[in-house]
Amino acid sequence: MTKSLQEAFERASQLPPDEQEAFGAWMLHELDSEQRWDELFNRSPDLLSKLADEALAEHRAGKTKPLNPETL
């Protein structure tokens, strides 16, 4: 276990039990989510490349606009 992960677990262990449960559930959800994304990307590298090419083509054709966080 790395030093930073160990420190995170030590600090989390000092939380009240209900917050520990919430933290544990969140952490497990994040780990599962990462695994699902990895599996999806590994199964479809051609699709991801195609989507990136399409996005670049739309940008080059002037069909995109800059993102303005103030207008979200």
Tell me the mean pLDDT in the region 47-59.
Answer: 92
Is the separation of the CB atoms in 23 and 12 below 8 Å? Answer: yes
Q: How confident is the model at residue 18 (pLDDT cuts 50, 70, 90)?
A: very high
Q: Which residue has the tokens 């606009």?
A: 65
With a threshold of 0.85, does the pTM exceed it? no
Q: What are the tens digits of pLDDT across the range 19-52?
A: 999 999 999 999 999 999 888 888 887 888 898 9
Domain ranges for the chain: 10-61
* Cβ contacts of 64 within 8 Å, gap of 6 or more: 55, 58
What pLDDT was estimated at residue 32? 95
